Amino acid sequence: MKKTELIFNIILVGGDFLMILAAGSGAYLLRMSPWLRDWRGAGGFFDQLPFGDYLPALLVIAAIWVVIFGLAGLYQTKIDRKYFEDLPKVIVACCAGVMAITMVVFFRKEFFDSRFIVLAGWVFAVILVSMERAAMKFAWNKYNLGGQKTLLAGNKEIAEKLRRELAANREIDIIATGDSLDLDLEAVKNRFNKDKFDEMILCVPERNREYITAFSNFCEERLIDFRFVPDLFQTFFTNINAETVAEFPILEFRRTPLEGWGGFVKRLTDAVISGVGIVFLLPVGVIVGLAIKHDSPGPVIVKLKRVSQGKEFYLYKFRSMKNNSHKLKKELMEYNQRKDGPLFKMENDPRVTRIGKFLRRTWLDEFPQLFNVFAGEMSLVGPRPHEPEETNRYLNHHKRTFFVKAGMTGLAQINGGCNLNFEEEVKLDLYYIKNWSLARDIKILAKTMILFFKDKPGC
């Protein structure tokens, strides 16, 4: 799921929740209206139920309905092109919601004993949610809020059919279409250099794996979403996402489970844990800061230029080296012990201060990175963030680590850390990216905490 589509679905969750609240409130007001009371007669528990007592139950039910909507596929990874395409799913999900209310009625008869309010709430919810979703999609498409630029490249006839289907709903912006069956990769590279695009759909079926892989690798290096029109055999692949545009199946390689709701869950987890960590570790940070200031001249916290997801940012750390140590690195390059990759490692680095050795051995120098995590520049778990001059020497497969945010700790760090050679580190990072899960993140964090209390060499 693209970031813009994820944002759309998050907004949709909030909109659905509000519409369900509005439906329940409307059903309550209608049930309590004088003309209805006169028609059916007063009496019964519901006639004495104030709205203030009704609202808490309505909030719980609205939250349950949103969960049911999610299970029904109403927050899927693509924005439906037709405004009322998800209407049947809304109806089914609302029916499931009514069944949930029926269970509440069965176990707690003092709440929602009015069958009218349940039926009216169901009707109002179907109407309001459907209208809200149609309005959201209309605004999203009309004003091109997704801001996606897509390159259709390959067979002209196929590309034109896709262009009409996609452009008609303004879900994405088509910027170019290739004409040749024998599309050359250089033509795509030139097009990208001239006018950047966010997504590429390769419209060249009946081509071999090597041909498709070349375009896929190009897109991976530049963090471009890559999809392609397959031949009959390729439609049987299992490691891909598939959808149909016009009459053509479109396949997309799965780069990581973090594309979509997985990324949202990870970001939410990062924000909560880093926020709590900052509060609880702040006294420790004050003590460490005083020790650094007493040990050597220079700032307590340093800003180091690093790369995450292919973009530069400033990483915060407690200073563990002498002031302006980065300038001394060029003089020490001949002592670099990591010859297998772009990274620098040196035992007994003369730039490290006395307190710095302790901080590195205990990983306390990493504490300020919680602020990077809280700000969304890093994650708690992910590939190690490297310097720009190091990432500039990355090979193509190394750049796949840019699919996710860099992390304070990661699979490589708890399985050898700086003792691994660079290719081993990348291999572990790529495995983590392809097999991410929240449970795996928790295990990595738990193992990091265990290693925190063990004696280990500083890196």
Better-scored residue on pLDDT, 222 or 144:
222
Q: Domain for residue 237, yes or no?
A: yes
Instruction: Find all residues with CB under 8 Å of 10, minimum gap 6, and list them.
Output: 264
Q: Domain for residue 277, yes or no?
A: yes
The residue from 253, 277, 298 where one domain ends is: 253
Based on the domain organization, do 184 and 274 belong to the same domain?
Answer: no
Task: Give residue 203's pLDDT band: very low, low, confident or very high (50, 70, 90).
Answer: confident
Q: Apex CA 88: angle with CA 83 and CA 91, to 5°?
A: 115
Q: Is the pLDDT of residue 181 over 60?
A: no
Confidence (pLDDT) at 317: 92
Confidence (pLDDT) at 2: 61
**Distance between CA atoms of residues 74 and 195, nearest Å:** 34
Task: Give residue 170's pLDDT band: very low, low, confident or very high (50, 70, 90).
Answer: very low
CA distances from 368 to 309, 345, 351, 406 (A): 20, 22, 20, 15
CA distances from 139 to 72, 132, 150, 198, 383 (A): 24, 11, 20, 21, 38
Confidence (pLDDT) at 47: 59
Q: Domain for residue 32, yes or no?
A: yes
The residue from 212, 232, 253 where one domain ends is: 253
Task: Give residue 144's pLDDT band: very low, low, confident or very high (50, 70, 90).
Answer: low
Confidence (pLDDT) at 169: 45
Better-scored residue on pLDDT, 47 or 62:
62
Instruction: Find all residues with CB under 8 Å of 264, minimum gap 6, and list them.
Output: 6, 10
Better-scored residue on pLDDT, 372 or 356:
372
Based on the domain organization, do 350 and 401 belong to the same domain?
Answer: yes
Would you call 228 helix, strand, or coil by DSSP?
strand
Confidence (pLDDT) at 356: 82
Range from 47-61, 223-237, 271-285 that averages highest in pLDDT: 271-285
DSSP 149: E
Range of the domain at 431: 261-452
Task: Give residue 36's pLDDT band: very low, low, confident or very high (50, 70, 90).
Answer: low
* Amino acid at position 99, single letter: M
| Cβ pair 13, 66 in contact under 8 A | yes
Based on the domain organization, do 184 and 137 belong to the same domain?
Answer: no
Based on the domain organization, do 297 and 220 belong to the same domain?
Answer: no
Structure tokens at 190: 């030139």
Confidence (pLDDT) at 236: 45
Based on the domain organization, do 127 and 195 belong to the same domain?
Answer: no
The residue from 123, 142, 161 where one domain ends is: 142
Q: Is the pLDDT of residue 239 over 70?
A: no
Q: Domain for residue 457, yes or no?
A: no
Based on the domain organization, do 284 and 410 belong to the same domain?
Answer: yes
Confidence (pLDDT) at 257: 77
Q: Is the pLDDT of residue 268 over 90?
A: no
CATH code, domain with 207: 3.40.50
Give the mean pLDDT of the chain: 78
Q: Is the pLDDT of residue 373 over 90?
A: yes
| Cβ pair 233, 148 in contact under 8 A | no
Give the closest residue to 408 by CA, choosing from 439, 449, 367, 361: 367
Based on the domain organization, do 33 and 171 belong to the same domain?
Answer: no
Q: Domain for residue 458, yes or no?
A: no
Average pLDDT (197-204) is: 82
Q: What total number of domains does the chain contain?
A: 3
First to last CA, the chain: 36
Confidence (pLDDT) at 104: 62
Average pLDDT (67-78) is: 77
Largest CA distance in the chain: 93
Based on the domain organization, do 313 and 242 belong to the same domain?
Answer: no
Based on the domain organization, do 293 and 390 belong to the same domain?
Answer: yes
Task: Give residue 346's pLDDT band: very low, low, confident or very high (50, 70, 90).
Answer: low
Instruction: Find all residues with CB under 8 Å of 272, minimum gap 6, and list them.
Output: none
**Distance between CA atoms of residues 166 and 178, nearest Å:** 16
Confidence (pLDDT) at 111: 47
Based on the domain organization, do 105 and 236 belong to the same domain?
Answer: no
Q: Domain for residue 459, yes or no?
A: no
Confidence (pLDDT) at 3: 65
Task: Give residue 458's pLDDT band: very low, low, confident or very high (50, 70, 90).
Answer: very low
- Range with the lowest mean pLDDT among 11-20, 210-219, 433-442? 210-219
Q: Domain for residue 173, yes or no?
A: yes
Residues forming a β-bridge with 249: 244
Residue 12: phi, psi to the nearest 5? -65, -40
pTM tops 0.85, yes or no: no
Average pLDDT (38-67) is: 74
Based on the domain organization, do 293 and 415 belong to the same domain?
Answer: yes
Angle between helices 209-221 and 185-194 (to 10 degrees): 20
Task: Give residue 178's pLDDT band: very low, low, confident or very high (50, 70, 90).
Answer: low
Task: Give residue 355's pLDDT band: very low, low, confident or very high (50, 70, 90).
Answer: confident
Confidence (pLDDT) at 29: 84
Structure tokens at 216: 């896929």
* Amino acid at position 414, single letter: I
Q: Domain for residue 87, yes or no?
A: yes
Based on the domain organization, do 222 and 113 belong to the same domain?
Answer: no
Q: Is the pLDDT of residue 25 over 60?
A: yes
**Distance between CA atoms of residues 418 and 256, nearest Å:** 25
**Distance between CA atoms of residues 143 and 332, nearest Å:** 55
